[in-house]
Amino acid sequence: MSLTRKSRVVASVGAVLLGVTYLYACAPTTKTSGIGNVGDAAARTYVAPGSYDEFYFFASGGFSGQVAVYGLPSGRLLKVIPVFSQNAENGYGYNVETKAMLNSSWGLIPWDDSHHPSLSMTGGEHDGRWLFINANNTPRFARIDLKSFETVETLELPNTGGNHGSPYTTENSEYVISATRFSVPIPQKDVGFDKFADEFKGTISFVKADEFGKMDLAFQILVPGFNYDLGRPGKGPSHGWVFFTSYNTEQAHTKLEVNASKNDKDYIAAVNWKAAEACVAAGKAKTWPTRYAHNVYNDSTHSASTEFKTSVKVLDPKDCEGTVYFLPTPKSPHGVDVDPTGEYIVGGGKLATVIPVHSFSKMQTAITEKKFDSEAYGIPVINYDATMYCEVQNPGLGPLHNEFDAQGNAYTSVFISSEIVKWSLKDCVVSDRVPTYYSIGHLSVMGGDTKTPYGKYVVAMNKITKDRYLPTGPELAHSAQLYDISGPKMKLLLDFPTIGEPHYAQAILASKIKGEQVRFYKLADNHHPYVARSEQETGVSRSGKTVHVKITAIRSHFAPDNIEGVQVGDTVLVHVTNLEQDWDVPHGLAAMGSFSDAEVLVMPGQTRTLTWVAKYPGVYPFYCTDFCSALHQEMSGYVRVAPTGSMVALSATTSPNTQLARLAASAQTPPPAPKAPSAPSGR
């Protein structure tokens, strides 16, 4: 064998061994790989029975369209909050009272794709009032009230093709901000793809959301037709700015995995929203006609309603100098994050070999000194070196997102090499890395987007589960992993499964909101049009082919529970008021053959409506679906359906058996309710 050939063989074998070594280093050696002391990890995540977790952890549900609430460090699922998808478990989006929350200019949309929760802010800190979340598919925002853990407001975003880069809450909740994922013709019209560069545009939307029930699309900024991915508002010195990554600066419209990955650098759009706000106030924006839905849930009527808006103010950066700048950023950037000081703007290039860190102060100097390399559709492109604070070397393969602790450290999720990388903002040097299982997407440090992060833990939200849990057929639960970051080295503490596909998540100290929870709704404050505040206010009435039944629910009976005079073809609206005035005593109602509705789950003091269509003659049961007492099985009733045109009188009565059960229940003295901490009984 020639020396040259020997050299080739040795080189090939060396490359193979190097590859095997790398793969082995990245692969878990045992199921407890990365945990260290298993007993210590178990103790750190153990929450004793009757004790509470330290953090609420709000995770997007991804393709479930909802928000999941977990306790940390235990990883226990506490609640799924219905937001953008109908939820048969409690009737959200099915019943009369909540259907309107899903209204849009397209009609009722029963599903969406939720990605990025964002907690309301005061002074750059989580204030515990609200949680905002985006709908990616049919562009919308939602507001969740953190006193009730219910969706109370949704707002559609016009002139937007996909609402991925959304929502981002400014330092004092002045705005919740969004950018379009897909550029589209704006306003919409039939345009050939050969005119993409000229006709397709994006928008950045600014929604006023600092008052309950009053989300308002204040204005939109028109931007070039790229794909805008993710964003972060500034804080401290950079407050008044917001930063969005963009990719596909090639403006490709087919085979994007190739054609949108050609440029070595794409852009972070740096947007001076205070300057834009001033230009809008000065009349420099144009009013465009459009149509979009604003849906608000009213606590007084326990019902949602829809208002359709018909215009929006659109600002072209050409009419407002100094509003938008582009920061070149390698390569196909996905995430952009701002550190707690507000000075550093960190990009996450999916195809980059470094983590670029821009300096806000250097950016300001570059703007003043006009260190521009070019323009993109009239927007200045700042020189890359002029804004660069540092490039973090050897970050792993596929850096995506960054979060921060209060000690000057950044944590980066790295997708391809499945790891979290810890590095210092001071010297931009990697100090630790830990494997994730597997293919991490977003990550979340406790309070990692605030001025003073809580730190303590980081959660990896992984895209692939494989062998982490018991198999459940072809679809597996997504994997989240909790790491301790309190010391110099990260330590894996816990795996826990999640619903849907979590993208981003945020955590808040439980102490900020647990004492403010609504425990029940006061009956006296219930102004639903069909409320029955006592059994004496119940009854039945007919309007053409529609029958309204007002009934009450209390442990352990409905009143009335025998309904007669309904005819085939009637639509029966059963309005159920829960008379309980105690914490954690909901009642449910379901009726046989309710094909157009789900059950209703009615909180104490609330009224909900079940829609039931009488299709066939006969006698049909209804019952309580939520166990409430020893006589829960007895909590039921009947609807009698007569043939069309029959002479059976319309009536609603309480059966003798129910009356006897009521007397028996009233003769027993119920145990006293546990004394709850001082908190409002209603909103």
Rg, the chain, Cα only: 28
| Start-to-end C-alpha separation, the chain | 85
Cβ pair 480, 75 in contact under 8 A:
yes
Residue 236 has pLDDT above 50, yes or no: yes
Cβ pair 547, 483 in contact under 8 A:
no
Q: Which residue has the higher pLDDT, 595 or 429?
A: 429
Residue 141 has pLDDT above 70, yes or no: yes
Q: What is the pLDDT of residues 193-225, one digit of tens each?
A: 999 999 999 999 999 998 887 899 999 999 999
351 SS3 class: coil
Which residues contact residue 400 at a Cβ distance below 8 angstroms, ignoring those fewer than 6 apart?
334, 335, 348, 350, 412, 413, 414, 415, 440, 441, 442
Q: What is the pLDDT of residues 268-295, one digit of tens each?
A: 999 999 999 999 999 999 999 999 999 9
Q: C-alpha dihedral over 300, 306, 307, 311, to 10 degrees?
A: 140
DSSP letter at 272 equals E
Q: What is the pLDDT of residues 299-324, one digit of tens each?
A: 999 999 999 999 999 999 999 999 99
pLDDT band, residue 663 (cuts 50/70/90)? low
Q: What sign does the CA torsion over 381, 384, 389, 395 have?
A: positive
The pLDDT of residue 435: 98
The pLDDT of residue 14: 38
| Pairing status of strand 216-224 against strand 303-315 | parallel
413 SS3 class: strand
Which residues contact residue 192 at a Cβ distance below 8 angstroms, ignoring those fewer than 6 apart?
none
List the domains of the chain with CATH numbers: 41-253+260-516 (2.130.10.10), 526-667 (2.60.40.420)
CA distance 443 to 421: 11
φ/ψ bin of 211: left (φ > 0), alpha (ψ from -120 to 50), beta (otherwise): beta
Among residues 601, 493, 479, the alpha carbon closest in space to that of 59 is found at 479
pLDDT band, residue 39 (cuts 50/70/90)? confident
Among residues 330, 361, 363, the alpha carbon closest in space to that of 348 is found at 330
DSSP β-bridge partners for residue 559: 552
Residue 136 has pLDDT above 80, yes or no: yes
